[in-house]
Amino acid sequence: MFGFTNCGKCENSAFKVNVQGSNYKMFAVQCVSCGTPFGITEYYDNGSLLKKQEAAIEVLATKLDHLQGMVGQIAQAMRR
């Protein structure tokens, strides 16, 4: 079972999440009371981004298969 996490500086147990400006978006977890940084985590959910990329790759693979079929038909027509 988990206990409560307290700020190491002021012993407060409430934290907030801020989006920090940089080249890569990150979340900074800070103490609500004194602003002491507690940790940093990624802004984007990598799992959902990966699923979107997999879906896009699947669409491209389907289009490529279709194009390969069309090229095969053109090559066959040119042999006649």
Could you report the average pLDDT of every consecutive run of 10 residues in the chain (80 residues)? 79 81 76 87 80 96 97 93
Give CA–CA dist 31/69, Å, rounded.
60
pLDDT of 28: 83
pLDDT at 21: 63
Name beta bridge partners: 37: 30
* Cα–Cα–Cα angle for 42, 47, 51, rounded to 5 degrees: 135
Query: Domain residues of the chain, as ranges?
Result: 1-43, 45-80
What pLDDT does 37 receive?
86
Is the separation of the CB atoms in 29 and 37 below 8 Å?
yes
